A and B are shown apart, each in its own frame.
Chain A
Amino acid sequence: MPVIKADLDLCQGYANCVMEAPKFFDISDDGVVVVLQEEFAEENRAKVEAAVRSCPVSALRIEE
């Protein structure tokens, strides 16, 4: 299954990913992304891709 990877050093807590796919992303008290589920099924691909695209600092990617 494809896997979500987050670069916690790049993340600035803009949280656009949470708006796009709240099942997969949250923001911690420290203001950085928390990946709630790393693996995702194909049916969720468009949602996860939208979340990845919405990151202003390109801190998210999908590993196939």
Chain B
Amino acid sequence: MGSRTVVVGASVGGTKTVQALRSQGYAGELLVVEAEPHLPYDKPPLSKGYLTGTLGRDRLNLVSDAEIKDLAVGVKLGVRAKSLDVAANELALEDGERIAFDNLIVASGVRARPSPWQAKDGVHLLRTLDDAEMLKKNLQNSRSVVVVGGGFIGAEVAAAARHFGLDVSIVDPLEVPIGRVLGDPVGKLFTRLHHLNDVATHFGNGVEAITGTKGNLTVELTDGKLLSCDLVVVGIGAVPNTEWLASSGLLIENGLVCDEYCRADGQANIFGVGDVARWYHPRQRELVRVEHWTNAVEQAACVAHNITNPKDLTRYAPVPYVWSDQYDWKIQIAGETARASDYVVVEDPSNENRFAAVYADHSGLFCGVATVNWPRAMIQCRRLLDSENAISIPLNLLNDLLPGRPG
């Protein structure tokens, strides 16, 4: 039918949009433009199994060559989008090419927030495959690392560094870094996990400066303490890749601002997908931007539906879901734990490494759940999160899962 959809970004959001479009019967032309030189690859393992070496490079591929052929998608690698002409429906690339489109998918993702502290060398970020390759090589040749940032990426890097036997310290200005997501009482269990794995935590303490060179770095903390190390990894969040949209006239505010159908504000044929999209969440009733793998996949499916069914648009109202691997904990989080006002921890007496934290909002309704080493508990609770339920409902389900209970 002569329609052409152009996708900017071939990470999980862009790739899954292409797959979902074909799955939902889109017959037009598809073209993906990606700034990185690599075929689509997956990012969550870069701070987990791929960094420790338990997961090989082949397991990172998001699509095979054969699948790219089946999808009948054109792929341009190693070329950045330069600018967007909304009125002309035309995308300009940095190599000078101009591409006309009927639909545009903005899936340009985020990049690691740059380190505000610069030493001569030895200070690493972790976002891309190339970052991970370089960090992995350096971890294997180092004795000690300081990780700046106690969020999920920082904690995963600390765990990977312990896997290689390094002395590990982790620094974060918050007293309980994971408390931002799970509340301080549950967050403290994650701090304890670092200690159980011989990682020194310097929480409630910022970084003043990083000086020296690889193999001989000094991290100066705001309380004056000095940490010596071979290597520093800075994991302090991410920044949306929206510079190429700056002159487009589209609304950019901490990401591409989209409506509840994931359409760029005021546009019928430009959609945001994944980490870069800040859309109006109909249930949360505010603009949100979510840097989770599952969000990119679900948003891709929603956008594909809205492109193939313009007269039957679906609003995008997902239940957030994210996982993290830290040491011997497989952590899964669903819902809006950060907004909870109360929580209950359910422990499995037969397994000290397994528990669930169930969260309630200010009116006592179930609003989120975190589990450690307990996938069945997670899915039972997660399925309840798109409707209103008293907190007793997930709690009863969890109690039924405990050994010695019926069911």
Chain A residues with a Cβ under 8 A of chain B: 12-16, 18-19, 22, 26-29, 31-32, 45-46, 49-50, 53-54, 56-58
Contact = CB atoms under 8 A, between A and B. Distances in A.
B330 interface: yes
B376 A56 contact: no
Contacts of B16: 53
B297 A54 contact: yes
Given A12-B323, A12-B330, A54-B298, 11 more contacts: A13-B379, A14-B294, A14-B332, A18-B383, A19-B321, A19-B382, A22-B383, A26-B379, A29-B401, A53-B23, A56-B293
Interface residues of B, number: 26
B386 to A, nearest CB: 9
Contacts of B24: 46
Interface string B293-331: 110011001000000000000000000010100000010
Given A46-B23, A46-B24, A56-B323, A15 B378 contact: yes
Interface of B: 16, 19-20, 23-24, 42, 44, 59, 293-294, 297-298, 301, 321, 323, 330, 332, 373-376, 378-379, 382-383, 401
Contacts, number: 62
A56 B44 contact: yes
Nearest to A54: B297
For the residues of B in contact with A, the DSSP-based class is helix
Nearest to A46: B23
B383 A13 contact: no
Contact of A13 (B20, B44, B375): B375
B20 A27 contact: no
B297 A14 contact: no
A19 B379 CA distance: 8
For the residues of A in contact with B, the DSSP-based class is loop
Given A18-B383, A54-B298, A49 B23 contact: yes
A55 B278 CA distance: 24
A15 B373 CA distance: 13
A31 B375 contact: yes
Nearest to A15: B379
B323 A14 contact: yes
A19 B375 contact: no
B376 A29 contact: yes
A36 B375 CA distance: 17
Given A27-B376, A29-B401, A56-B323, A19 B383 contact: yes
A37 to B, nearest CB: 18
Nearest to A57: B59
A53 to B, nearest CB: 6
Contacts of B376: 13, 27-29, 31
A26 B401 CA distance: 15
B383 A27 contact: no
Given A12-B330, A46-B24, A27 B375 contact: yes
A8 B323 CA distance: 19
Contacts of B294: 14, 16, 54, 56
Given A31-B375, A53-B16, A15 B293 contact: no
Contacts of B379: 13, 15, 18-19, 26-27
A35 B238 CA distance: 37
10 contacts: A13-B376, A14-B323, A15-B378, A19-B379, A19-B382, A26-B379, A27-B379, A49-B19, A53-B301, A54-B298
Contacts of A13: 330, 375-376, 378-379
B293 A50 contact: no
Contacts of A57: 59
B224 to A, nearest CB: 42
Given A15-B382, A56-B294, A31 B374 contact: yes
Contacts of A19: 321, 379, 382-383
A19 B301 CA distance: 13
Nearest to A47: B23
A31 B375 CA distance: 5
Nearest to B25: A46
Complex A-B, nearest 5 residue pairs according to Cβ-Cβ distance, in ascending order: A13-B375, A31-B375, A15-B379, A49-B23, A27-B379
Contact of A53 (B20, B332, B378): B20
A57 to B, nearest CB: 8
Nearest to A55: B297
